[in-house]
Amino acid sequence: MKYLKCVLKETLRLHPPFPLLVPRETLSGVKFGGYDIPQKTRVFINSWAIQRDPEIWIRPEEFLPEIFENSQVDFKDQDFEFIPFEAGRRGCPGITFGIASTEYVMDNLLYWFDWDLPKTSKAIEILDMSEVYGINVHKKVPLRLVPKPYSF
Contacts of 48 (CB under 8 A, 6+ apart): 16, 19, 20
Kindly state the DSSP code that residue 23 receives in the 8-state scheme.
P
Answer positive or negative: Cα dihedral of 93, 98, 100, 101: positive
- Measured CA to CA in angstroms, residue 94 lies from 86, 90, 135 at distances of 11, 12, 19
Q: How many CB atoms lie within 10 A of CB 9?
A: 20
**φ/ψ (deg, to 5) at 103:** -60, -40
CA 59 – CA 44 distance, rounded (Å): 25
Determine which helix (DSSP H) or strand (DSSP E) holds 122, and give its type and residue range.
none
DSSP 140: S
92 is an annotated ligand-binding site residue: yes
Residue stretches of the annotated binding site: 92
- Known binding-site residue numbers for heme: 92
